[in-house]
Amino acid sequence: MSLSNSPRYFALIPAAGVGARMQADCPKQYLHIGGKSILQHSVNAFLRHAAIQHVFVVVSPHDAYVAQELLKDERLTVLFCGGETRADSVTNGLDAMAGQVDALDWILVHDAARPGLTPDLISRLIDQVGTDEVGGLLALPVVDTVKLQNLSASQHQVKTIPRAGLWLAQTPQMFRHRVLSDCLASAKAASFDITDEASAIEASRLIPQLVEGHWCNTKITRPDDLVLIDSYLAKLI
Ligand SMILES: Nc1ccn([C@@H]2O[C@H](COP(=O)(O)OP(=O)(O)OP(=O)(O)O)[C@@H](O)[C@H]2O)c(=O)n1
Ligand SMILES: C[C@](O)(CO)[C@H](O)COP(=O)(O)O
């Protein structure tokens, strides 16, 4: 345990997915935008932020791309411990970094597939959540009219639901190492469907804080997403 009272911040980037919905000939985090891999863009946002002590990237144990697609840096460690699901990859990463972080250190978990993250957004999250008991995440308030489709009936059964209070979760999601490890373990033991870190925190009846993110921090999921982010990143580079 650190004897210092000052908080420390670490990044953990799950990058062990296969990118099935992107249908590319390599995992989507290794596709290039503006001459760099999507993973490199995501990592750079943290390396450019002075408050981030170290960046850990979790890749598949069979990964054949990362050595070529990610530049070495003294503040960067690649962990070959990806799991079957995103939650497994995050859990394995938290276990692997345990010797180098303290229980109370803040861990910022960020999708490799969100290359539009900026140091300013990281600062916004740290500034607003760093004093919170639990932690929190970047997210976007829903701005469109929301339709709920009844999947168990005809496709025509649709209703409009109030959008007030609805947010779309982004990353980074920032929680203390021990709290996040414990909540992910409890959620797994209870077979909860965990799609982000905040779901595991909520399943333990803790309340994550929502911090307004930005559309540029969108997740690259399908081929069309590349076109939008390409023009945005071209302005930043
Ligand atoms: N077993 C997994 C699955 C996903 N991820 C990572 O989690 C992030 C968000 O996941 P998603 O966008 O769903 O990526 P994929 O699982 O690769 O995409 P798909 O579901 O289309 O296969 C990505 O950075 C992805 O690499 C991971 O580390 N380990
Ligand atoms: C964590 C996440 O980015 C929050 O929106 C998202 O849930 C990850 O994508 P997946 O498709 O659920 O794996």
Task: Evaluate: CB of 15 within 6 angstroms of ligand 1.
Answer: yes
Which of 5-14, 74-83, 90-99, 174-183 is the least confident region? 5-14
| Element at 69 (helix H, strand E) | helix 66-69
For the stretch 114-125, what's the b/e string if a residue is b when 16 or more beta carbons lie within 10 angstroms of its beta carbon? Answer: bbbbbbebbebb
CB 196 less than 6 A from any atom of ligand 2: yes
- pLDDT class for 3, splitting at 50, 70, 90? very low
Report the alpha-carbon distance of residue 158 to residue 142 in Å, rounded: 18
| pLDDT over threshold 70, residue 2 | no
Q: Residues 127, 159: contact at Cβ < 8 Å?
A: no
Beta strands 52-58; 76-79: pairing state: parallel
| Percentage with pLDDT > 70 across the chain | 96
* pLDDT recorded at residue 5: 67
Per CATH, the homologous superfamily of domain 9-137+169-236 is Spore Coat Polysaccharide Biosynthesis Protein SpsA; Chain A (3.90.550.10)
Count other Cβ atoms within 10 Å, centred on residue 149: 12
In this structure, what are the phi and psi dihedrals at residue 98, rounded to the nearest 5 degrees?
Answer: -55, -35
What is d(CA 112, CA 48) in angstroms, rounded to the nearest whole number?
16
Asked whether 199 lines ligand 2 (CB < 6 A), one says no
pLDDT computed for residue 237 by the predictor: 56
Structure tokens at 130: 């760093």
Answer whether 173 contacts ligand 2 (Cβ < 6 A): no
Average the pLDDT over 7-20 and give the result. Answer: 97
Closest ligand to Cα 173: 2
Pair type for strands 146-149 and 167-176: unpaired
Mean pLDDT of all residues in 66-82? 98
* Cα–Cα distance for residue pair 94/180, rounded to 1 Å: 9
pLDDT of residue 1 exceeding 50, the answer is no
pTM of the model as a whole = 0.96
| Greatest mean pLDDT range, 3-12, 43-52, 151-160 | 43-52
CB 95 within 8 A of CB 87: no
Read off the pLDDT of residues 122-164 as tens digits, 9 standing for 90 and up.
999 999 999 999 999 999 999 999 999 888 876 668 899 999 9
Domain-by-domain residue ranges, the chain? 9-137+169-236
* Ligand 2 site, residue 195, Cβ cutoff 6 A: yes
**Stretch among 3-7, 68-72, 125-129 having the lowest mean pLDDT:** 3-7
User: 10 Å Cβ neighbour count for 189?
Assistant: 8
SS3 call for 148 = strand
Q: How far is 63 from 61, CA to CA, in rounded Å?
A: 6
pLDDT tens digit sequence for 102-123:
999 999 999 999 999 999 999 9
Report CA(1)–ligand 2 centroid distance (Å).
31
Q: Which residues pair with 13 in a beta bridge?
A: 57
Q: Determine the pLDDT at residue 203.
A: 97
In order of 17, 129, 136, 174, 183, the CA distances from 119 in angstroms are 24, 15, 17, 15, 27
Distance CA 235, CA 237 (A): 6
Ligand 1 centroid distance, CA of 38 (Å): 13
Residue 181 host element (H or E)? helix 177-189
Mean pLDDT value across residues 91-110? 98
